[in-house]
Amino acid sequence: MRFVILLYALLLASGVAADTLRLTSGEWPPFHGVALPHYGVASRIVTEAFAFEGVEVHWEFLPWARSLQLAEQGQRASTSVWRRNAKRERQFFISDPVLKTQNYLFHRKAFDFDWQSVDDLRGMRLGATRGYYYGKAFNRAELAGHLNIQRINSDEVALRQLLAGRIDLFPIAKTVAADLLAHHFTAVERAQLSFHPRALSQHNQHLLLSRQVAGSGAAA
């Protein structure tokens, strides 16, 4: 209920007075996806929250960068779901978390692996999806060149490289990994992978409502 109330408060603060909203998102099964039931779990949460206040949501699925850009410019009312950061706080009204994700280090079962801190990952071959953020410690170590990290174009490709032995570890949310493995990998392939029970990072994911929509300047 609190999430519903905050969504409505954001709507009022932005100056949007409408019975319908155009929201953008990208493909991120099972949370968002044009071919998913209700467009995914996160999409359904947002849609039903707005429906509680009589607002109908129309989803538009685009590349993630374009999805964010259109909302930044006020060409779309909102975009979902995103991690909060200082830049986005300046550009958007931000909801309570729609969901929380945790990234775990996936590996081949044959790879003997344990860790306590990011420093323990030195010397291992890590994959990471291009453009994704995996927490402060991982980010600092990557920028400092302390970790052997290969940025890869997609989660699916990274999982395939993991299976092929081209990388040793790959951080990914368990729910996202489970969906990919179920739909794009064989049972034999799935049986070869596991993950360490220690989470690498966790992130709240939010709905962003553009500050550029009509009336938002006065409200802000």
pLDDT band, very low/low/confident/very high, at 5 (cuts 50, 70, 90):
very low
215 CB-side CA count, 13 A: 11
Query: Cα–Cα distance between 210 and 207 in angstroms, integer?
Result: 10
Which residues are paired to 100 by β-bridges?
A: 204
Rounded Cα–Cα distance for residues 208 and 176 (Å): 21
> How many CA within 13 A on the CB side of residue 131?
7
Query: Using one digit for the tens of pLDDT, what is the confidence trace for 147-157?
Result: 999 999 999 99
Three-state DSSP at 20 gives strand
Asked whether the predicted pLDDT for residue 183 surpasses 90, the reply is: yes
Does 13 or 44 have the greater pLDDT score?
Answer: 44
pLDDT in tens, 93-134: 899 999 999 999 999 999 989 999 999 999 999 999 999 999
Please state, in angstroms and as integers, the Cα–Cα distance from residue 78 to each residue in 90, 142, 150, 182, following that order: 14, 31, 32, 31
Query: What's the pLDDT at 19?
Result: 79
User: Does residue 209 have a pLDDT over 80?
Assistant: yes
Percent of the chain with pLDDT over 90: 78
Q: Are 158 and 127 in contact (CB under 8 A)?
A: yes
pLDDT of residue 143 exceeding 50: yes
Model pTM above 0.85: yes
- How sure is the predictor about 14, in pLDDT bands with cuts at 50, 70 and 90? low
Edge-first strand order for the sheet with 92-108 is 56-61, 20-25, 78-83, 193-210, 92-108, 170-173
Span 30-73, pLDDT tens digits: 999 999 999 999 999 999 988 887 889 999 999 999 999 999 99
Q: How far apart are alpha carbons 125 and 16 in whole angstroms? A: 48
The residues that bridge with 205 in the sheet, in sequence order, are 83, 99
Query: What mean pLDDT is reported for the chain?
Result: 90
The pLDDT score that the predictor gives to residue 9 is 55
Quick one: pLDDT at residue 206?
96
d(C-alpha 174, C-alpha 193), whole Å: 12
Indicate the pLDDT class of residue 142, thresholds 50, 70 and 90. Answer: very high
Given this model, what pLDDT does residue 6 score? 55
